[in-house]
């Protein structure tokens, strides 16, 4: 008898719900609830005897899921949402059932080899050769931390350690870079960007200091979509013997669109980059592809040793050698399955379509009386503001649209001014539908 008996009917119930969810998609009216609303329903669900699989799953379907924001819906245009393919969602369920340990080759050889096919594709888009490689980690923050740890180790092998190390980045760098700096106990030198949010190589050079070990460039800034002067930063990194890391968690997906690829010129000289398939490469949470131009530099920094690890086969590719982790699931496999299913051309076409949607939305906003196009589109990000609304009215409008399910479009701040931000990552987003909803901004302001 199993220690944890679970009736087959419960398995069937879960799989049937999963099928309907994947095919039907999320409900855009769902949203976060307060603790006061959730506690009377979910509180006390952990008991000595257990409440049973059917009751627990009912809590999931009836309370937990409706109390989450549906970032995968085509009208979810705030933050950098997720738009996973049906293929990747379906396979993610299968991956969980497979129970693969993918921390080392011995546990997950087939899965790791498949993940590496996608990493080779990404590295190839950057113009990197056979020495490139990497690993999938949980998100961009862990990817940036792992890359910058490798960068500091690489630099420490080339010069005497200063009293303090420093990272050079734009003031528009993602908040994770400052968080990483605190974890690593290093300084951050911030460079003001131009009016579009782009850091130039010349400005970075002027701010650079002897204790800098790495430059972090934006390859699609979260707030504005800006891509820094990668070629200029690469030249600076070469001249000063520095590591160039590109934070492309959102934007580097656009490498797959041939027409957008020139925006990233210079990436072939970078040392590492991150790109999150759960953002703009149509995969489910959570996956960040961390890729190094010379993977051996990462193995030098991250390889772990312990008595119980002595039996691990070091002649093959062990993901634990390339980031700050040991145990891991094969989180790159849902992306692999979708990419293998649909092909790389379909991915490039989908990215190009979302960029075209952003361009059409920007044109529509620019032509709409009462709306001011502030910036963009840059990649697929558009910033705009209603000219006749106060900041408080903007907040009220955004919440009303979110609750109705019409549109998730939340305010952000750009150069000290509250603006609305659209980030298009779902090729199913309707330009006409979004513009119709945005038209209510002018009627409500009036």
Report the distance separating Cα 241 and Cα 360, nearest Å.
42
The CA distances from residue 56 to 20, 31, 34, 59, in Å, are 19, 20, 20, 5
Same fold, 92-342 and 345-445: no
8 A C-beta contact, residue 76 and residue 70: yes
| pTM, entire model | 0.95
Give the model's pLDDT for residue 82: 84
CATH of 92-342, one of 3.40.50.170, 3.10.20.30, 3.40.640.10, 3.40.50.300: 3.40.640.10
Q: Is 190 left (phi over 0), alpha (psi -120 to 50) or beta?
A: beta
CB environment 352-361: b (16+ within 10 A), e (fewer): bbbbbbbbbb
List all residues 6 or more positions away from 425 whose beta carbon is below 8 Å from its beta carbon: 80, 81, 82, 83, 250, 279, 280, 354, 380
From 251, 169, 162, 173, select the one nearest 204 (Cα to Cα). 169
Q: Where are the domains of the chain?
A: 1-67, 92-342, 345-445
Give the model's pLDDT for residue 425: 96
List all residues 6 or more positions away from 108 whose beta carbon is below 8 Å from its beta carbon: 100, 101, 102, 330
The CATH code of the domain at 345-445 is 3.90.1150.170
Residue 290, beta-bridge partner list = 135, 274
8 A C-beta contact, residue 230 and residue 252: no
Q: What is the mean pLDDT of each run of 10 residues along the chain (446 residues)?
A: 90 97 92 94 95 96 94 85 92 96 93 98 98 96 98 96 96 96 98 97 98 98 97 98 98 98 98 97 96 96 74 78 93 97 97 98 97 97 96 95 92 96 96 96 73
Give the model's pLDDT for residue 311: 63
8 A C-beta contact, residue 220 and residue 372: no
């Amino acid at each position: 008898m199993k220690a944890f008996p679970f009736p087959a009917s419960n398995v069937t119930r879960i799989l049937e719900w999963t099928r309907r969810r994947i095919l039907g998609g999320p409900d855009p009216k769902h949203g976060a609830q307060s603790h006061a609303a959730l506690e009377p329903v979910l509180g006390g669900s952990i008991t000595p005897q257990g409440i049973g699989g059917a009751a627990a799953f009912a809590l999931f379907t009836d309370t937990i899921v409706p109390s989450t924001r549906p970032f995968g819906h085509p009208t979810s245009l705030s933050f950098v949402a997720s738009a996973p393919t049906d293929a990747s969602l379906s396979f993610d369920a299968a991956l969980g059932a497979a129970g693969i340990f993918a921390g080392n080759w011995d546990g997950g050889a087939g899965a790791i080899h498949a993940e590496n096919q996608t990493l080779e594709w990404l590295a190839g888009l950057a113009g990197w050769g056979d020495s490139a490689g990497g690993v999938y980690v949980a998100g961009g923050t862990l990817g940036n931390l792992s890359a910058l740890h490798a960068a500091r180790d690489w630099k420490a092998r080339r010069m005497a350690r200063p009293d303090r190390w420093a990272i050079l980045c734009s003031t528009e760098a993602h908040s994770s870079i400052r968080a990483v700096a605190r974890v690593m106990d290093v300084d951050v030198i911030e460079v003001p960007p131009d009016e579009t949010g782009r850091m130039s190589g010349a400005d970075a050079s002027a701010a650079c200091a002897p204790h800098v070990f790495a430059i972090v460039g934006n390859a699609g800034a979260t707030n504005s979509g800006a891509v820094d002067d990668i070629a200029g930063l690469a030249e600076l990194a070469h001249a000063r013997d520095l590591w160039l890391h590109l934070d492309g968690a959102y934007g580097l997906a656009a490498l797959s669109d041939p027409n957008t690829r020139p925006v990233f010129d210079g990436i072939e000289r970078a040392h590492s980059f991150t790109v999150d398939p759960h953002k703009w490469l149509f995969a489910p949470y959570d996956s960040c592809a961390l890729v190094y131009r010379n993977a051996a530099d990462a193995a030098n920094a991250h390889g772990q040793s312990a008595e119980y690890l002595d039996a691990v086969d070091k002649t093959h590719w062990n993901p634990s050698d390339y980031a700050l982790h040991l145990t891991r699931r094969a989180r790159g496999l849902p992306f692999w399955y979708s990419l293998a299913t649909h092909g790389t051309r379909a991915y490039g076409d989908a990215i190009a379509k979302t960029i075209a949607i952003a361009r059409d939305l920007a044109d529509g906003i620019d032509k709409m009386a009462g709306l001011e196009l502030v910036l963009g589109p840059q990649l697929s990000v558009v910033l705009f503001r209603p000219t006749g609304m106060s900041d408080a009215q903007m907040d009220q409008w955004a919440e009303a649209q979110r609750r109705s399910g019409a549109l998730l479009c939340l305010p952000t701040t750009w150069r000290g001014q509250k603006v609305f931000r659209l980030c298009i990552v779902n090729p199913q987003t309707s330009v006409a539908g979004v513009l119709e909803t945005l038209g209510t901004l002018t009627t409500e302001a009036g």
